A and B are shown apart, each in its own frame.
Chain A
Amino acid sequence: MQEFLQLIVTGLVIGSVYALVAMGFALIYKSTSIINFAQGEFVLLGGYICWWFYTSLGVPVVPAFLATMAIAVLMGLVLERVMLRPMIGEPIISVIMITIALATVLKALVTILWGTQIQVFTPAIFSQDAIKFGPVLVSEVYLWTFGFAFLFLGVFAAFFKFTRVGISMRAVADDQQVAQSMGISVKRVFAISWSIGALVSAVGGILVGNINGINIALADFGLKVFPAVILGGLDSIPGAIIGGLTIGILENIMGSYLDIYLGGGVKEIAPFIVLIVILMIKPYGLFGIKEIERV
């Protein structure tokens, strides 16, 4: 029982980062209908940039963090302006291909700049000391990760619910033409979506980088958003969050209990088994209701 609780807690922490990245993915999909295959590379780049500032250049942690966020936002804006805006009106499949190419280019760029060695944040930002919560042990870095992930999720949830820009973004996701008829600039909303998508991924990269260290495999972490968003429903932001948490817990539990029978590695494939099953039985995911049926 204690082991089970422990698995749930650590799963929840990693899941909260999945949730954060998945939210960025769902946001881009919802407002621009583009499936962004470079989401994982945003995570990778975020982790590396922050590490570079902090460990290589010796910038203190808070400015390093803020600078990474600023660069991520800028990168989102530039990518949208240079690569994606000219593609407005072109077939969606072409745009998706562009994101695949982008993913490869970004990955190569990271390898050129920083090599393929595992890098760790030194000195460690958060301590690894364990804190006891009843029967469960949680290390401090996990607590911080969980806290930050939820802070960002909360901030963006409030942003979409209460600010006028957030509401206009949801309006564009709902009906682009009507949104334009009220003077909402769809292009601007696209740009904001991409920059938020890049921002939350970069934060995800920093958080995970602090736990596991950073190398090129961090991009695969980004791939886990696919099971998360498919589970939650591609176009649902709350769905992405719940999907992320669920995938985090599931992979942890399945990994731990099934590895002994299957010889290891279950943790890596578990999310994708969930993805296949969900697509077969519930293609719109748990929350991805296509349209409201008025009665």
Chain B
Amino acid sequence: MPLLEVNNIEVIYDDVILVLKGMSLEVEEGQIVAVLGANGAGKTTTLKAISGLLKTEEGEVTDGEIVFDGEKINGLEAENIVKKGVFQVMEGRRVFEDLTAKENLVAAAHTQKCSRSELDERIDAVYSYFPRLKERENGLAGYLSGGEQQMLVIGRGMMAKPKLMMLDEPSLGLSPLLVSEIFEIIVKLNKEIGTTILLVEQNARMALNIADHGYIMENGKIVLDDTTEKLKNNEDVKRFYLGMTDMGTKRSYRDVKHYKRRKRWLT
């Protein structure tokens, strides 16, 4: 049985705007699963539907179901979903700016009924993954650099010891060097701590390199899914997500015009 199962869900914002139209995906325990897709495909909405944050934005799962660890979780309050072991690291490095880096970590352990000493141990564990945070632990999070803020939000996720961590575009606006550093840590998290990862990314190359399984999303549903090995060799993925062309041929404007038609999964 997969750890997370999203079955054919439909999400409507503000009672009228249909964003997800029969979205399904599965995440096996211990895997890294990547969801790729263009802006507006519904990737973030999918994550918010799972974490329950949709409710804070007038969104609603109107059909289908989300099963985590054998239990139906759609309809639960966000706080109860966190308690079950799902943690969403939101897009855009939303640190608590007026709190110090350390206080950000403490706040993230809110659902954890752990003692002071265990809390300190967890903070040290986060610092061992991100030594730079230790140096700045008493500085206001708002003044950290972009890379440090991304580390901090992932560190916050670690504090809650989730079974499933959902990362929304962790590479957003970071230098290539930092992106690979962040991705290495995501892999480490998965291998060493055993956290299952659901990763939403625009950086398809990076995401497909670290993930076990990939989903391609368009217009509110999955159009293609396979192991990342196969996806990387898929002609359409190569062309539209990895930016590669057929060997040696120069892409002409005519090909560009036929982009849409060439997407053979859009039958």
Cβ contacts A211-227/B at 8 Å (1 or 0 each): 00000000000000000
Chain B CB within 8 A of A120 CB:
no
CA distance A65 to B97 in the complex (A): 38
Contact B82 A183 (CB under 8 A): yes
Chain A CB within 8 A of B142 CB:
yes
Tell me the smallest distance from the CB of A79 to a CB of chain B, in Å.
23
Contact A182 B140 (CB under 8 A): no
Interface of A is mostly: helix
Contact B107 A168 (CB under 8 A): yes
Contact B107 A181 (CB under 8 A): no
Please report which residues of chain B, range 98-118, place their CB below 8 angstroms from some CB of chain A when the two chains form the complex.
98-99, 103-104, 106-111
Residues of chain A lying within 8 A (CB to CB) of residue B87: 181-182
Tell me the smallest distance from the CB of A53 to a CB of chain B, in Å.
37
CA distance A294 to B119 in the complex (A): 29
Contact A183 B142 (CB under 8 A): no
Residues of chain B lying within 8 A (CB to CB) of residue A180: 53, 56, 78-79
Residues of chain A lying within 8 A (CB to CB) of residue B53: 177, 180-181
Tell me the smallest distance from the CB of B110 to a CB of chain A, in Å.
5
Q: Of A174, A175, A182, which is in contact with the most chain B CB atoms at under 10 Å from its CB?
A: A182
Please report which residues of chain B, range 117-164, place their CB below 8 angstroms from some CB of chain A when the two chains form the complex.
119, 140, 142-143, 156, 160
Contact B99 A292 (CB under 8 A): no
Please report which residues of chain B, range 37-53, place their CB below 8 angstroms from some CB of chain A when the two chains form the complex.
51, 53
Residues of chain A lying within 8 A (CB to CB) of residue B241: none
* Closest B residue by C-beta to A179: B107
Chain A CB within 8 A of B228 CB:
no
Which of B77, B80, B98, B110 is within 8 Å of A182, CB to CB?
B110
Contact B83 A183 (CB under 8 A): yes
Tell me the smallest distance from the CB of A10 to a CB of chain B, in Å.
34
Contact B96 A183 (CB under 8 A): no
Residues of chain B lying within 8 A (CB to CB) of residue A175: 94, 96
CA distance A164 to B56 in the complex (A): 23
* Closest B residue by C-beta to A89: B58
Residues of chain B lying within 8 A (CB to CB) of residue A168: 107, 110
Chain A CB within 8 A of B195 CB:
no
Tell me the smallest distance from the CB of B61 to a CB of chain A, in Å.
17
* Closest B residue by C-beta to A289: B98
* Closest A residue by C-beta to B48: A181
Chain A CB within 8 A of B67 CB:
no
Question: How many residues of chain A are within 8 Å of chain B by beta carbon?
Answer: 21
Which of B80, B82, B83, B104 is within 8 Å of A181, CB to CB?
B82
Tell me the smallest distance from the CB of A89 to a CB of chain B, in Å.
9
Cβ contacts B65-91/A at 8 Å (1 or 0 each): 000000000000111101100011010
Please report which residues of chain A, range 151-176, place their CB below 8 angstroms from some CB of chain B when the two chains form the complex.
164, 167-168, 170-171, 173-176
Tell me the smallest distance from the CB of A134 to a CB of chain B, in Å.
39
* Closest A residue by C-beta to B114: A164
Q: Given A167-B103, A182-B87, decide whether A291 and B97 contact each other with a Cβ distance below 8 A.
A: yes
Contact A174 B79 (CB under 8 A): no
Q: Given A176-B56, A292-B143, A294-B142, decide whether A183 and B111 contact each other with a Cβ distance below 8 A.
A: yes
Tell me the smallest distance from the CB of A30 to a CB of chain B, in Å.
10
Contact A294 B98 (CB under 8 A): no
Q: Of B51, B53, B108, which is in contact with the most chain A CB atoms at under 10 Å from its CB?
A: B108
Tell me the smallest distance from the CB of A254 to a CB of chain B, in Å.
33
CA distance A286 to B172 in the complex (A): 35
Chain B CB within 8 A of A74 CB:
no
Q: Given A182-B82, A182-B108, decide whether A174 and B143 contact each other with a Cβ distance below 8 A.
A: no
Tell me the smallest distance from the CB of A239 to a CB of chain B, in Å.
13
Residues of chain B lying within 8 A (CB to CB) of residue A102: none
Contact A181 B98 (CB under 8 A): no
CA distance A292 to B104 in the complex (A): 16
Residues of chain B lying within 8 A (CB to CB) of residue A173: 98
Residues of chain A lying within 8 A (CB to CB) of residue B97: 174, 291-292
Q: Given A168-B107, A179-B107, decide whether A184 and B98 contact each other with a Cβ distance below 8 A.
A: no
CA distance A178 to B143 in the complex (A): 18
Residues of chain B lying within 8 A (CB to CB) of residue A164: 106-107, 109-110, 119
* Closest B residue by C-beta to A293: B142
> Which residues of B does A touch, CB under 8 Å?
51, 53, 56-57, 77-80, 82-83, 87-88, 90, 94, 96-99, 103-104, 106-111, 119, 140, 142-143, 156, 160
Q: Can you name 14 A-B pairs with beta carbons within 8 Å?
A: A164-B109, A171-B99, A171-B104, A174-B96, A174-B98, A174-B99, A177-B94, A182-B107, A183-B78, A185-B77, A185-B79, A292-B97, A292-B143, A294-B142
> Which residues of A does B touch, CB under 8 Å?
164, 167-168, 170-171, 173-185, 291-292, 294
Extra pairs beyond A173-B98, A184-B110 (7, CB < 8 Å): A167-B106, A174-B96, A182-B110, A182-B111, A184-B79, A291-B97, A294-B143
